[in-house]
Amino acid sequence: MKDHVRIVVCGEPGVGKTSLIKTLISETFDDKVPSVLPPILVPPEVSPDHVSVSIIDTDCYDIDDVNLEQELSRANVLVLVYDVSSLDTLEAATKRWLMRFNTMGLRTPVILVGNKTDLREGISEELEGYVRPIMEAHRQLDVCIECSAKEAFNIAEVFYFAQKAVLHPTAPLYDVSKHSLKPRAEAALKRIFKLCDMDHDGKLNDEELNRFQYNCFGVELKEDELSGVKNVVKESCPFGLDKDGALNLRGFLFLHTLFIQKGRLETTWTVIRKYGYEDDMTLRGDYVDTTVKKNEDQVIELSDAGRSFLLSAFEIADQDNDGFLSPEEQDLLFQSCPDNPWKLHARWVPSPPSNPGYLSKDAFLARWIISLLDDSSSALMTLVYIGYPDPPSTAITVSKSRRRDRRSREVTRNVFRCYVLGSPKSGKTELVRGLVGHPFGSKACPPGKTLASASELSYEGHPKTLVLLEIPESRLTQWLTSKEFQSAGDLVVLVYDVSDRESFEYASRLFNTIESSRKNVPCVFVGTKADLPPAPSVGVHATEICTSHGLPEPVLVSMQAKEDQNIYQMLVEVAMNPQVACPDYFEVDSTSDLSTYMLYGAGTILIGGLLYLGWRSWSKRGSSTSGYMKR
């Protein structure tokens, strides 16, 4: 919440702007006031919300004055004053001032204040008829209130509402035109409900409700108060209570909607801020720490606590108990997030082919592992949004660094990041999709996304997760010069089409580039389309390269003929025994990673040239394809 509120009072000359401020600070009306008051600072101890408040008076004879525009731009809230005895000033407030705010692009809340009620008797129905359409037409208007500086009527309320519009704003919480909670506010309240539902039964019993009440407001509800809350829900939202009288999610959301509609926004804001939210409905950095300290050659894995939580979340979201999360159930899982993170993810992770769009438990966990590899901070924040109750760091473990593994001549990690490279149409996409059982010729990767897949395999009775990441040709040069390539990968798969000599030559050039820049990465050649007649001498040359560099013989597969030669299990075995695809893996000096990276950086232009020569030949071949009104 802000610790300072800047209120700028504006409007036509003679409507009583200065008198409003003067009456507020002196509590008496003075017929003689200066044309403009100097800025007034209200200290925190006087303010209802214990924040400092600046009140800025303005000289508004020239609405286009540069100084006035600067003041309007610096305001947290604008108090726009008109004279209730003069419809001309109300018309000016609408056609001059509100239009000016729009022209300036201001998104500042506005309090519309009708002053001088002492000059008319009672409430003018005619004036109210003018004001209501204005409120509907200008969404930045937060409150319309009438007052009298002369009679000191509603003066404190004017500035209270102004302060409230900043500290407890309507816009982030409530859609006035739809009369409903904003999606992000609803998502925040759903997360809060989920955290308060300690027994995960989808409702808040009296004990859980009182724990929530005490956590937010420091007091518990008395028995009659608790009954009163439930009676309100029962009368206006019958489905908001379970059959045993416990408050369910629908009832919880109804109560907060009611608070907002009744002008008690501070109640909902207290709850939302207590659970760590900013005004934009994202979690504050000081509330949750999702930073992960690790080196580039370490990998993030799910801890037992993280895995257990995700499996529990899967079970809750799987409402039809069919063992899969449908797209709708996935949306249900992420309903407490500001946005569905997987829809925004740059990776495209294909779902199992048996149920397109559905996720099994294994596919669900694999998807989380990919998210942690790509952006651990965002993935951990998503865990928090969907209700992970403990510090995010407890949901993961960080593997030993690859350098430490080399010293002990072992591989201790359980997740392997494998990069799949090759020329266009070499078959690398089919290889990546095949890991999760997709048949040949399945749905293509959406434009703008990169392909990834992951699956859990067994090695000597222990679960290991293989993650295949396709590197598109358009990103290849950038990737080869990145820290990700230099340190993060556990294995590189070089894919070529056995029936195409140029495809193999492209893979061969890639290997030479990799071998000259990072000598400690295991590489495996995979020949695809083995059901087609091989190009002359390709098989011989591929075997010669592998033999001369101490690599395993090329693995020949045909994804179309469903002959994968157990390639994925073989890749896990290579990752666990990297010396079979990189003979000097355990002999590399501990300083070689840094020196290689520095040397490689100097050779970027050469690498780009090598890749360009290969790409150019492929490009040529491919060219053939009342009182106040509150919203």
Question: Domain for residue 510, yes or no?
Answer: yes
Instruction: At 10, list the tokens.
Output: 């504006």
Taking the C-alpha atoms of residue 571 and residue 465, their distance in angstroms, rounded to an integer, is 11
Residues 42, 153, single domain; the answer is yes
CA 393 to CA 496: how far, in whole Å?
A: 41
Longest dimension (CA), the chain: 103
Measured CA to CA, the distance from residue 428 to residue 423 in angstroms comes to 8
CA distances to 196, 498, 517 from 393, in Å: 21, 46, 34
Q: Which domain holds residue 469?
A: 402-618
Element (H, E) at 56: strand 52-56
378/333 same-domain check: yes
According to DSSP, residue 338 is labeled S
- In this model, does residue 488 exceed pLDDT 80? no
Residue 76, C-beta contacts closer than 8 angstroms, at least 6 positions apart: 2, 5, 6, 7, 108, 166
Residue 280 belongs to a domain: no
State which of 134, 167, 200 marks the end of a domain. Answer: 167
The residue-averaged pLDDT of 522-536 equals 94
Reading the block at residue 202, the tokens are 């989808």
Q: Count CB neighbours of 509 within 10 A.
A: 16
198 in a structural domain: yes
User: Among 339, 189, 197, 204, which residue's Cα sits nearest to residue 257?
Assistant: 189
CA separation for the pair 161, 52 (Å, rounded): 15
Please count the other Cβ atoms lying within 10 Å of the Cβ belonging to residue 205.
17
State yes or no: pLDDT of 460 exceeds 60: yes
Question: Do residue 416 and residue 313 come from a single domain?
Answer: no
Q: What is the pTM of this model?
A: 0.80
Residues 267 and 307 in one domain: no
Q: Is residue 580 part of a domain?
A: yes
| Last residue within a domain, chosen from 167, 191, 209 | 167
Alpha carbons 312 and 597: distance in angstroms, whole number = 42
Do 111 and 162 meet the contact criterion of CB atoms below 8 Å apart?
yes
The type of residue at 281 is M
Q: How far apart are CA 410 and CA 577, in angstroms?
A: 8
Q: Which comes out higher in pLDDT, residue 445 or 160?
A: 160
**Last-in-domain residue among 398, 416, 432:** 398
- Which CATH number belongs to the domain containing residue 571 in this structure? 3.40.50.300
Q: Which helix (H) or strand (E) holds 26?
A: helix 17-26
Does 173 fall in a domain?
A: no
Burial class (CB in 10 A: 0-12, 13-18, 19+), 517: buried
> Can you give the pLDDT at residue 296?
85
Over residues 383-396, mean pLDDT: 95
Q: Clarify whether residues 507 and 406 are in a common domain.
A: yes
Position 595 pLDDT exceeds 50: no
- Distances in Å between the alpha carbon of 288 and those of 173, 357, 382, 388? 22, 31, 11, 11
User: Which residue type does 186 have?
Assistant: E
Are residues 146 and 29 part of one domain? Answer: yes
Average the pLDDT over 371-398 and give the result.
94
Name every residue whose Cβ is closer than 8 Å to that of residue 460 and which is 6 or more positions away in sequence.
none
DSSP string, 64-113: T-HHHHHHHHH-SEEEEEEETT-HHHHHHIIIIIIHHHHHTT----EEEE
Which of 186, 166, 154, 215 minimizes the C-alpha distance to 16?
154
Residue 260's φ and ψ, nearest 5 degrees, are -65, -45
Q: How confident is the model at residue 475 (pLDDT cuts 50, 70, 90)?
A: confident
Secondary element (H or E) of residue 450:
strand 450-459
In a domain, 288, yes or no: no
Output the pLDDT for position 353. Answer: 66
In whole angstroms, give the CA distance from residue 52 to residue 1.
12
The C-alpha atoms of residue 631 and residue 624 are separated, in whole angstroms, by 61
Residue 63 is assigned to a structural domain of this protein: yes
Cα dihedral 7/8/9/12 (nearest 10) = -160
Q: How many domains does the chain have?
A: 4
Per-residue pLDDT reduced to its tens digit, 161-218: 999 999 999 989 998 878 899 999 999 999 999 999 999 899 999 999 999 999 999 9
Closest CA to 473 of 440, 437, 509: 509
Residue labelled with tokens 């045909």 = 558
Same domain assignment for residues 332 and 479 = no
Q: Within a domain: residue 631?
A: no
Residue 115, strand partner residues: 83
Across 240-255, average pLDDT: 95
Structure tokens at 49: 């919300």
Q: Is the pLDDT of residue 599 over 90?
A: no
For residues 408 and 386, state if they share a domain.
no
Q: Is 150 exposed, middle or buried (0-12, 13-18, 19+ CB in 10 A)?
A: middle
Answer yes or no: is pLDDT of 590 > 50: no
Secondary structure E strands in 512-580: 523-528, 555-556
Sign of CA dihedral 581, 586, 592, 594: positive
What is the pLDDT, as a whole number, of residue 459?
95
Give the whole-angstrom CA distance, residue 118 versus residue 153: 9
Would you state the pLDDT for residue 579?
A: 95
* Whether residues 443 and 524 fall in one domain: yes
**Is residue 482 domain-shared with residue 587, that is, in the same domain?**
yes
**Which CATH number goes with the domain that contains 372?**
1.10.238.10
Give the pLDDT confidence of 287-301 residue by residue, as tens digits: 898 999 988 889 999
Is residue 189 domain-shared with residue 160, that is, in the same domain? no
Shared domain check, 215 and 158:
no
Q: Looking at the DSSP assignment, which residues form a beta bridge with residue 247?
A: 204, 241
Round the average pLDDT of the chain to a whole number and report it: 87
What is the pLDDT at residue 601? 47
pLDDT in tens, 55-111: 999 987 777 788 899 999 999 999 999 999 988 999 999 999 999 999 999 999 999
Confidence of residue 480 (pLDDT cuts 50, 70, 90): confident
Token pair 């969404």 in the structure block, residue: 139
Place of tokens 């017929």: 31
Q: CA-based angle 465:470:472, to the nearest 5?
A: 165
CA angle 232, 234, 238 (to 5 degrees): 135
